Amino acid sequence: MALKKTQEREYAKVLYLSENISQKDLAARVGVTEKTLSGWIEQGGWKNLKRSLLTTRQNQLNMLYDQLDFLNTEISKRDNKAATSKEGNTIIQLANAIKKLEIQTSVGETIEVARAFIGYVGSSDIELAKKVTVFFDLFIQTKMK
């Protein structure tokens, strides 16, 4: 019975972190009470975790590319199209940050892949999806250390 509860909790966590779903609907989907789900959310710090995962690698890359584009557009509007030393340093810093993000896999991205895979498995075998969720959660926890 304890293993079943652990699996339900882990499945609920993945759904909570990856989908915009009401707690009532989430509790029904997992098969637990809203009170149980609320306790898991509170004890596990899921709200803070969800907030931190909203800043995915792709979102960060988009913002960096937007900043680089803005800077280059502003430079191109001037008569002197050369970047100042300060602008040049900013361009270098942005380019380095972009390069670093492009080659690194974030926890948020890992969770996105896990969610998609678990959804795929769950469409044909919900019990197997719950089991896989436990392993993905353990894997994700190691990525966050």
What are the pLDDT digits (tens) for 88-132? 999 999 999 888 877 666 666 778 888 899 999 999 999 999 999
Structural domain that includes position 95? 57-103
Residues 50 and 75 reside in one and the same domain: no
Claim to verify: residue 23 and residue 46 sit in the same structural domain: yes
pTM of this structure: 0.41
Residues 70 and 30 in one domain: no
Angle between helices 34-44 and 23-30 (to 10 degrees): 100
- Report the alpha-carbon distance of residue 86 to residue 46 in Å, rounded: 41
Could you give the number of structural domains in the chain? 2
CA distance 107 to 7: 21
- Mean pLDDT of the region 74-84: 94
Determine the Cα–Cα distance for residues 135 and 120; give it in Å rounded to an integer.
16
